[in-house]
Amino acid sequence: MDHLTLQDLFDRRLDFPDLDTRKRLSRLVGIDAIKSRLTKILGILVNPSGPRAWATRFHPDANVLLDYVERRPPLTILAGDVGSGKTELAETIGDAIARQEDIPVTLYPLSLATRGSGKVGEMTKLVSSAFELTVQAAEKLKRADGKASGGIILLVDEADALTQSREDSQMHHEDRAGVNAFIRGVDRLAAKRLPAVVILCTNRLSAIDPAVQRRAADIFTFGRPNAEQRKAVLAAPLSEAGFRESQIDKIVDATGGAGPSSIGCTFSDLTQRLLPTLVLEAYPDSAISFESALAIAENLVPTPQFKDGQK
């Protein structure tokens, strides 16, 4: 516990730009507005020279305005239903930031093991160590001229397990201490103005501590894809299989749920269940038929809806 390494704290380390990651990010269709805004927010936070160059060009006297932008906390929250694409976006957005800002970006996904084994002081020490290593890495990337030579993203998935509200009367004191350590870590990154940001992913936004939510530069909410978004996911692969647009539209409708109380498919239902099933149903002796595809879509049971606030 006294000499924690990157391997102890993080599941893996991902470096961007990366061609495979770029492909993964491009396949997240239907959430272009979120991708664009998140890239800009995180890009500004890890590389403040970008907005300064922009201000010099378009608003040379906007010093106060620019200061407000630069002082935003280095934290964003991605919240929403299971299978809505938030974790995939968090794991791949670093590639877009690296390309936009023209700097290398490294992702540190915090391991769930960071919660520790419940011993007094363990989780606090682990969270503090994670931020300490993030600070050390980011300090090496900060330059005197303001342009970062790289950026760091600290990703916390299932964040409600680590930053749950301290207002819960049943919360263990060690969990409270862990949340305090997390808040101190975010504040430390902000005070030092380091090229590092934190992304939290959660299915339960209401469970996140209010002080953590207040520090977020932005909170993005993800829902299940509507018909337009489902078509954006399905159109290309089904067109490759020879389907006509009218046939694609029928499959899109079938994945939207039937009846007022039914729910539609999630993004992951479409990409990880429906499309692979179409291939496996036909492989290896036949082509994918529209009739078979429509039947599979109509019988696909969407992932149950996660209710925010449930215990």
pLDDT tens for 112-139 read: 655 555 554 577 888 889 999 999 999 9
Q: Are 14 and 106 spatial neighbours (Cβ–Cβ below 8 Å)? A: yes
CA 94 to chain CA mean position, Å:
10
Give residue-wise pLDDT tens across range 189-235: 999 999 999 999 999 999 999 999 999 999 999 989 999 999 999 99
Residue boundaries of the structural domains of the chain: 6-222, 227-299
The torsion angles phi and psi of 75, rounded to 5 degrees, stand at -145, 135
| H or E element in which residue 79 lies | strand 75-80
Residues 142-147 have a mean pLDDT of: 81
What Å distances lie between residue 83 and 108, 143, 295, 302, CA to CA? 21, 39, 22, 10
The residue type at 216: A
pTM for the complete prediction?
Answer: 0.88
| Residue owning tokens 């499959």 | 251
Q: Are 107 and 91 in contact (CB under 8 A)?
A: yes
- Residue 307 or residue 90, greater confidence: 90
pLDDT at 81: 86
State the sign of the Cα–Cα–Cα–Cα dihedral 125, 113, 153, 64: negative
What is the domain class of 6-222 according to CATH? Answer: alpha beta
Binned at pLDDT 50, 70 and 90, residue 155 comes out as: very high
Q: Give the pLDDT band of residue 3 (cuts 50, 70, 90).
A: low
* DSSP letter string, 106-151: EEEEBPGGGG-SS-TTHHHHHHHHHHHHHHHHHHTT--TTS--S-E
Q: What is the CB-side half-sphere exposure of residue 263 using CA atoms within 13 A?
A: 16
Q: Specify the DSSP element, H or E, that contains 156.
A: strand 151-156
What percentage of the chain carries pLDDT values higher than 70? 90
The confidence band for 10, taking pLDDT boundaries of 50, 70 and 90, is confident
With CA atoms as reference, report the closest residue to 221 among 197, 208, 205.
205
3-state SS class at 303: coil
CA-wise closest residue to 66 among 79, 57, 75, 76 = 57
